[in-house]
Chains A and B, each alone.
Chain A
Amino acid sequence: VNHAPFLIGSYAATAIVLAALLAWVVLDGRAVARRLAALEARGIRRRPEKGGAGA
């Protein structure tokens, strides 16, 4: 019995699902980071910046 189609199909299906999962997490991370950066650009931060800290 030739098992190759079943094996190749299984590996291919798994690879597609894992790639989709990875893409989802990476794209979600980028979207959240982008929204955080937009808020910080508007001057909204978690803690107020220390005055003259870097000067």
Chain B
Amino acid sequence: VWDARLTSELVLLLMYLALIALWQAVEDPGRAARVAAVLTLVGTVNLPIIKFSVDWWNTLHQGESIFRAGGATIYATMLWPLAVMTVAMTLFFAALATMAMRNEIYRRRLRTLELGAAAAAASAAVAGAAVGAGARR
């Protein structure tokens, strides 16, 4: 069960869940982004481990079968759909990530505006109370 590729992918999943938990745990978005960025950078160490896990350890998973000297060992009827879907998924997630980033920028602008409006309303209330107190004297 503890195949090297599966286990390294499991570590990746756990790190992803930790990233989500970390992001949700810190209230200030700026601080949350910094902490999450650090964890993301640390997490990238896992990527080459996943990639080379099939070469470093003797596992049930097949060895390198695409980018290898002597050409790919996958049959063409599987290799081409794999290549097309890899490009398609990469482009789709690039588009999705760009849209989500725009949403996040809008969300932060919204938060800034709401905080500014709340602060302005609070200072106006304090000033109003001070004026009222002065008039009563």
Contact = CB atoms under 8 A, between A and B. Distances in A.
A45 B116 CA distance: 9
A44 B117 contact: yes
Interface string A26-55: 101100110110010010111000000000
A45 B113 CA distance: 7
Where chain A touches its partner, the secondary structure class is helix
A46 B113 contact: yes
Interface residues of B, number: 15
Contacts of A13: none
B114 interface: yes
Contacts of B102: 29
B107 interface: yes
B113 A18 contact: no
A21 interface: yes
B96 A29 contact: no
B123 interface: no
For chain A, the bracket of interface size reads 10 to 19
Contacts of B109: 36, 46
* Most chain B beta carbons < 10 A, residue from A21, A32, A35: A32
B57 interface: no
Interface of B: 92, 96, 99-100, 102-103, 106-107, 109-110, 112-114, 116-117
The 8 closest A-B pairs by CB, nearest first: A32-B106, A29-B103, A44-B117, A25-B99, A39-B113, A28-B103, A32-B107, A25-B100
